[in-house]
Structure 1
Amino acid sequence: MENKLMIKLIVGTEAMFFLALIMAFVYFSFTPDFKSHQLLNLDLKTTGLFSLLLFSSSFTYWRAESNYQKGQIAWLKFWLVLTIILGCVFLFGQGREYSSLLDSHVNVSSSTFGTSFFTLTGFHGLHVFAGIIVIGIVTGLTFSGDYTNKKSSVIAAVGIYWHFVDIVWAVVFLIVYVLPHIS
Structure 2
Amino acid sequence: MSDCLIFAMLFAVYAVIGGNYAAGPAPKDLFDLNLIAVNTAMLLFSSITYGFAMLAMMKGKIGQTLTWLGVTGLFGLAFLGIELYEFAHLIHLGATPQRSGFLSAFFFLVGTHGLHVTFGIIWLVTLMVQVKMKGLIPANRRRLICLSMF
Same fold per superposition (TM over 0.5): yes
- Matched residues in 2 for 1:65 and 1:155: separation? 8
- Matched residues in 2 for 1:128 and 1:151: separation? 20
Q: Which residue of 2 aligns with 1:71?
A: 60
- Matched residues in 2 for 1:145 and 1:58: separation? 25
Q: Which residue of 2 aligns with 1:179?
A: none
- Matched residues in 2 for 1:136 and 1:150: separation? 16
Letter in 2 for 1:67: A
- Matched residues in 2 for 1:150 and 1:122: separation? 32
- Correspondent of 2:122 among 128, 133, 144: 133
- Matched residues in 1 for 2:94 and 2:83: separation? 17
Unaligned residue ranges in structure 1 (runs of 5+): 1-11, 162-183
Moved runs in structure 1, 4+ residues, more than 6 A? none
Moved more, 17-26 or 91-100: 17-26
CA RMSD of aligned residues (A): 2.0
TM-score, length basis structure 2: 0.91
Q: Which residue of 1 aligns with 2:106?
A: 117
Instruction: State the 1:146 CA deviation.
Output: 3.0
Q: How many residues align?
A: 148
Unaligned residue ranges in structure 2 (runs of 5+): none
CA contact (8 A) 2:43 2:75 kept: yes
**How big is each residue's C-alpha offset from its partner over 1:45-98, in whole Å with a ceiling of 9 and x where there is no partner?**
111112101110001001101100101111001000000000000000000100
Q: Which residue of 2 aligns with 1:43?
A: 32
Query: Sequence identity, in percent?
Result: 24
Does residue 14 in structure 1 map to residue 3 in structure 2?
Answer: yes
For CA contacts below 8 A with separation 6 or more, give which structure has more relative contact order.
1
Q: Which residue of 2 aligns with 1:102?
A: 91
- Matched residues in 1 for 2:137 and 2:66: separation? 11
